[in-house]
Structure 1
């Protein structure tokens, strides 16, 4: 059981040049953030600069039997945090990441299981983040999250994620 005010131990960084085992990362995330076990995340995948989750709708229902906006918003914010944290880990950084700004546009009701996909807003974003980290020890990146229910884009979110300087 997590204690309020006590940081959860960091997951050790992967070996230089290696990517995280996403199943291990998701297991750690579930321990670190208790809400995660209730979000219905079935799997996490990475392809190029995209990080995605397959999610079951059942634990995220609203009173109308469709996706609850608050749960979907939490998921988009957390997926962006995961994208940033995993990118840092691949670069050899163990840093704190916070969301500085976030917005969502709900485009269609979520009526079944879905996929959330997170990508950089700009193709240059990851390189710029790395440059900021090397120059200033901190950085910022804009990410976009899209929620697809089948072929329907139901939600588009955007967030600015800040990498804090080393403590």
Structure 2
């Protein structure tokens, strides 16, 4: 049984994987580390190449109009970017703190059913630049794009800048 999180007390880090990341284990840890994750409706995560994809249920994020609540969708995009950087670092064998530096979103269509959220680097050379900055300065930044699809309809596009902080 997990104990409730307390303000000011960091959650223990998930050990770095010896091989490919087990995303189910990562998602379980994420729900313990950030309690609101369990209320976001994340049904599953997959990674392929530079894309992190989440499948989400709409019901936990419904607004008064019966569509996706913008605040919940924004939280999901921000968290997904944080996860993308954290998982990328873990794949490199690096354990670092990650923070969001800035984020914005454009709402393009209402979210009316379960949906998928896809996070990718905003520029193809983004991961290589992040790696170079980490080697050079011990910290680095990457721009990511999150796209929310309800069926084939692009409903939301978000952009964020995330920072991998220096070793503590």
Task: Please give the TM-score of this superposition, normalised by the length of structure 1.
Answer: 0.98
RMSD between aligned alpha carbons?
0.5
For the pair 1:154 / 2:155, whether they are aligned, the reply is yes
Measured in 1, the distance between the counterparts of 2:91 and 2:135 equals 14
Q: How far is the alpha carbon of 1:20 from its aligned partner? A: 1.1
Residue in 1 that maps onto 2:146:
145
Q: How does 1:43-58 map to 2 (within 5 A)?
A: 43-58=44-59
Residue in 2 that maps onto 1:121:
122
Measured in 2, the distance between the counterparts of 1:130 and 1:20 equals 19
Q: How does 1:9-20 map to 2 (within 5 A)?
A: 9-15=12-18, 18-20=19-21
Measured in 2, the distance between the counterparts of 1:112 and 1:88 equals 32
Measured in 2, the distance between the counterparts of 1:130 and 1:73 equals 27
Gaps of 5+ in 2: none
Gaps of 5+ in 1: none
Task: Please give the TM-score of this superposition, normalised by the length of structure 2.
Answer: 0.97
Q: How far is the alpha carbon of 1:108 from its aligned partner? A: 0.1
Residue in 2 that maps onto 1:104:
105
Measured in 1, the distance between the counterparts of 2:134 and 2:23 equals 24
- How many residue pairs get aligned? The number is 165
